[in-house]
A = this chain, B = another copy of it.
Amino acid sequence: MIVVMKTGVREESVQKVISKLVKNGYQIHESRGVEKILLGAVGDKTRSVELNLEAMEGVEKVVSILAPFKLASREFKAEDTCIKVGDITIGGEELQVMAGPCAVESREQLLEVAAMVKEKGARILRGGAFKPRTSPYAFQGLEEEGLKYLAEAREKTGLAVVTEVMDTRQVEMVAHYADILQIGARNMQNFPLLKEVARFNKPVLVKRGLSSTIEEWIMAAEYIMASGNHQVILCERGIRTFEVYTRNTLDLSAIPVVKHLTHLPVIVDPSHATGKWRLVQPMARAAIAAGADGLIIEVHPNPSEALCDGPQSLTPDRFGNLMEELRIISGAIGKRV
Contact = CB atoms under 8 A, between A and B. Distances in A.
Interface of A: 2, 4, 7, 27, 29-36, 38, 40, 42, 46-47, 49-50, 52-57, 63, 65-66, 68, 75, 132-140, 166-169, 186-187, 189-192, 210-211, 213-216, 219, 222-223, 226-227, 239-246, 249-257, 260, 273-274, 277-279, 282-283, 285-291, 303-308, 310-311, 313, 325, 328-329, 331-333
Contacts of A38: 2, 29, 40, 65
A241 B249 contact: yes
A277 B57 CA distance: 12
A279 B259 CA distance: 11
Nearest to A285: B289
A187 to B, nearest CB: 7
In the A-B complex, the 10 residue pairs with the closest CB atoms: A211-B211, A55-B310, A29-B31, A33-B42, A31-B40, A289-B289, A54-B311, A286-B290, A46-B137, A167-B192
Contacts of A189: 132, 134, 186
Identical copies of this chain, number: 4
Nearest to A191: B132
Contacts of A279: 253, 256-257
Most buried by B among A46, A211, A216: A211
Nearest to A74: B7
A165 to B, nearest CB: 10
A159 to B, nearest CB: 24
A44 to B, nearest CB: 9
A167 B168 contact: yes
Contacts of A255: 282
Contacts of A242: 211, 213, 239-242
